[in-house]
Amino acid sequence: MPVLSEADHVRVTEEVARAERASDGEIVTVVAPRSDAYHDVALHYALLAMLLVPTVAALAPQSWIDWGLTLAFGWNATLSYRMLMLVLVAKMAVVFLIVRFALAWPPLRIALTPASTRTRRVRRRAVELFRAGTEKRTQGRTGILLYLSLLERRAEIVADEAIHSQVEPDVWGEAMAVLVEQVKAGRTGEGMALAVEKIGEVLARCLPPTLDNPNELPDRLIEL
């Protein structure tokens, strides 16, 4: 994972302070190593693999089944219905455990997680953090959260009412694009700073600074 240095923290903090001086907006920046462990994804794959065992057995030719039974129990072996069911259940259990333990390795688990699932989890985590630390925390509801999840290489921007009511979601596209580009290049701190700069340009247009412009939320970059 990219590591944020002290210089990165200083750079982002300075950019947040600069952007907030040019508007009434309050920017919160958060970087997280990941948004979810995706253990449920591993469980779903293991269950699917387990259910494929009886499906394959039902669709397999009889000659294949006879051959498998011969390998396991020898020639002319006769198995009761109960024994056949026990064999089937044992195979299902073995397949389930193999897949489940294989997907305990995080890189494989993440690689097999659908992109849409990762996107939803990142968005959900961003909204949770926004509600906990940004929403309704400013007098004019002018807070905005920039959230980056490193493992998924995805980012989200969540804005409070005063900003959300004036800015269409696609306006943040430039900030998101520059952030993702820099993260992929291994320059996470620079990406956050450039994204804050782009956000600040939007805020300066929709929420120009007033005489009463207190600093209501922390400017520092938050690492979870």
Match 């051959």 to its residue by tokens.
67
Distance (Å, whole) CA 168 – CA 202: 11
Query: pTM (2 decimals)?
Result: 0.83
Instruction: Confirm if 143 and 134 have CB atoms less than 8 A apart.
Output: yes
* DSSP class of 166: T
How confident is the model at residue 61, as a pLDDT? 79
Cα angle 210, 214, 219 (rounded to 5 degrees) comes to 120
Compute the distance between CA of residue 70 and CA of residue 67 in angstroms, rounded to an integer. Answer: 5
pLDDT of residue 72: 66
Query: How does pLDDT run across 73-95, given as a tens digit for each residue?
Result: 666 666 666 777 888 899 899 99
Domain range 6-36+114-223, CATH architecture: Roll (3.10)
Hey, where are the domains in the chain? 6-36+114-223, 39-111
Strands 143-149, 154-159: pairing kind? antiparallel
Taking each helix axis as running N to C, give the angle between helix 81-102 and helix 39-59, from 0 to 180 degrees, rounded to the nearest 10. 150
The one-character DSSP state at 3 is: -
> What string of pLDDT tens digits covers the 224 residues of the chain?
557 899 999 999 999 999 999 999 999 999 999 999 999 999 999 999 999 988 887 777 777 766 776 776 666 666 666 777 888 899 899 999 999 999 999 889 999 999 999 999 999 999 999 999 888 888 888 999 999 999 988 999 999 988 988 888 888 999 999 999 999 888 999 999 999 999 999 999 988 988 777 888 888 999 98
Element containing residue 155 per DSSP (H, E): strand 154-159
**Rounded-to-integer distance, Cα 103 and Cα 48, Å:** 13
The rounded distance, in Å, linking the Cα atoms of 217 and 138 is 8
Average predicted confidence (pLDDT) for the chain: 88
Please give the Cα distance from 216 to 203 (Å, whole number). Answer: 16
95 C-beta neighbours (distance < 10 Å), count: 17
The CA R_g of the chain, rounded to the nearest whole Å, is: 26
Separation of alpha carbons 157 and 144, rounded Å = 7
CA 128 vs. chain centroid, Å, equals 13
